[in-house]
C-alpha cells in the first residue's frame, strides 16, 4: 500500500524566502522536521544572514546553484560550494552566519531537525560537506540517512532520511519506507509530479503515517525534496531560535546562547 496525501501546503513568503514549516505549526505534525525554508530568487552580492543563535536543534543548509561562505562560533569558517551542505548541530548553543556568492540566483533549503534528549544539551558540532561527498544514484542525492545502500554524509541524530530527487521527463520514482518511519513529506519545487492522480507543483505535501511506499510520476520532469523519519517522541519547547524537549533544557540553551552573544558583542562581531 502506498502512502497517500494528507495535507497540501504552499507556505508563506517573506521577501525572497518561503516558509513552509515552523515549530509552532506544521512542525508539530512533522517532528523531528520542525522547520523548512525555501528560497528561489535573484540575489544581490553579499545576500545572506548575519550571526544568529540556535540551541536544541540541528540545521541543514543546502543550496543547489550558489556557493555559501559560512562561519560559526565553534571556530570554523569555510566556503561551501553549490551542491554542498552545512550541518550545524547546535546542541546546547551556537551562533553561525553565512553569505551567498558566485551566482546571481539561489535555489536552496534550510531544514531544522529537533534533537533527541541525549543530544539537545551537547556541545555544538558543525560539519561542512563538499558536493563530491554527497552520494548520488539515478538522480537522487542522499543528504542524510540511507537510500538504496548509500549512506548520506550527515550523521542523522535519530532515524531519518532526507533526499533531493530529480525526475527526468516520463520518469517515476518509488521508495519503500520502513514501518517505523511514521513521518513523511515531499516538497515539489520545480516542474510537476503526479501522486495518486493528484498534480503537485510548488508545494509541500504531508503524507499519511501508514503505507509501505511513496511513488511520484512526472510527465515533463521535476525536482523535489523528500523527508521521512521516526517520529520525535518528545514535546517541543520553543524559544526564538531554539527548540528543546523540556523547559529546563530550553532555559539552559537560551542562557548559553546569550553568553556566546555577549562574547561576540565584546569582539565587535555583532
Average pLDDT over residues 31-48: 91
HEC letters along the chain: CECCEEEEECCEEECCEEEEECCCCCHHHHCCEEEEEEEEEECCCCCEEEEEEEECEEEEEEECCCEEEEEECCCCEEEECCCCEEEEECCCCEEEEEEEECCCEEEEEEEEEECCCCCCCCCCEEEEECHHHCCEECCEEEEECEECCEECCECCCCCEEEEEEEECCCEEEEEECCCCCCEEEEEEEEECEEECCEEECCEEEEECCCCCEEEEEECCCEEEEEEEECCCCCCCEECCCEEECCHHHHHHHHHHHHHHHHHHHHCCCC
pLDDT tens for each residue of 175-198 = 999 999 999 999 999 999 999 899
Specify the pLDDT at position 48: 84
What CATH number has the domain bearing residue 223? 2.60.120.10
> Mean pLDDT, to the nearest integer, of 158-186?
97
Residue 229 predicted with pLDDT over 90: yes
Q: For residues 110 and 38, what is the distance between their CA atoms, to the nearest angstrom?
A: 7
Mean pLDDT of the 162-169 span = 98
Domain count, the chain: 1
pLDDT at 257: 95
pLDDT reported for residue 158: 97
Cα 183 to its chain centre, rounded Å, is 14
pTM tops 0.75: yes
Q: According to the model, what pLDDT value does residue 268 have?
A: 81
Sheet holding 193-195, edge to edge: 171-176, 213-218, 193-195, 198-200
Domain interval for residue 115: 5-266
Residue 270 pLDDT > 80, yes or no?
Answer: no
Better-scored residue on pLDDT, 59 or 103: 59
Amino acid at each position: 500500500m502506498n502512502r497517500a496525501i494528507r495535507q497540501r501546503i504552499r507556505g508563506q513568503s517573506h521577501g525572497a524566502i518561503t516558509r513552509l514549516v515552523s515549530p509552532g505549526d506544521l512542525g508539530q505534525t512533522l517532528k523531528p522536521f520542525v522547520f523548512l525554508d525555501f528560497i528561489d530568487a535573484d540575489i544581490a552580492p553579499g545576500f545572506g544572514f548575519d550571526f544568529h543563535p540556535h540551541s536544541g536543534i540541528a540545521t541543514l543548509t543546502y543550496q543547489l546553484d550558489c556557493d555559501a561562505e559560512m562561519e560559526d562560533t565553534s571556530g570554523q569558517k569555510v566556503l561551501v560550494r553549490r551542491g554542498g551542505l552545512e550541518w550545524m548541530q547546535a546542541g546546547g548553543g551556537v551562533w553561525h552566519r553565512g553569505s551567498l556568492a558566485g551566482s546571481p540566483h539561489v535555489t536552496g533549503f534550510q531544514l531544522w531537525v529537533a534533537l533527541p534528549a541525549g543530544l539537545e544539551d551537547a556541545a555544538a558540532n558543525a560539519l561542512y560537506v563538499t558536493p563530491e561527498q554527497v552520494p548520488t544514484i539515478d538522480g537522487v542525492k542522499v543528504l542524510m540517512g540511507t537510500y538504496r545502500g548509500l549512506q548520506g554524509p550527515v550523521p542523522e541524530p535519530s532515524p531519518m532520511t532526507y533526499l533531493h530527487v530529480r525526475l527526468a521527463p516520463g520518469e517515476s520514482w518509488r521508495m519503500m519506507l520502513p514501518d517505523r518511519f511514521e513521518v513523511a513529506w515531499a516538497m515539489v519545487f520545480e516542474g510537476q509530479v503526479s501522486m495518486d492522480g493528484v498534480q503537485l507543483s510548488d508545494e509541500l505535501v504531508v503524507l499519511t503515517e501508514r503505507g509501505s511506499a511513496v511513488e511520484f510520476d512526472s510527465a515533463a520532469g521535476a525536482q523535489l525534496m523528500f523527508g521521512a523519519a521516526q517520529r520525535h517522541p518528545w514535546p517541543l519547547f520553543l524559544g526564538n531560535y531554539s527548540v528543546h524537549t523540556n523547559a529546563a533544557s530550553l532555559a539552559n540553551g537560551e542562557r548559553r546562547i546569550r553568553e556566546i552573544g555577549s562574547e561576540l558583542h565584546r569582539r565587535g562581531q555583532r
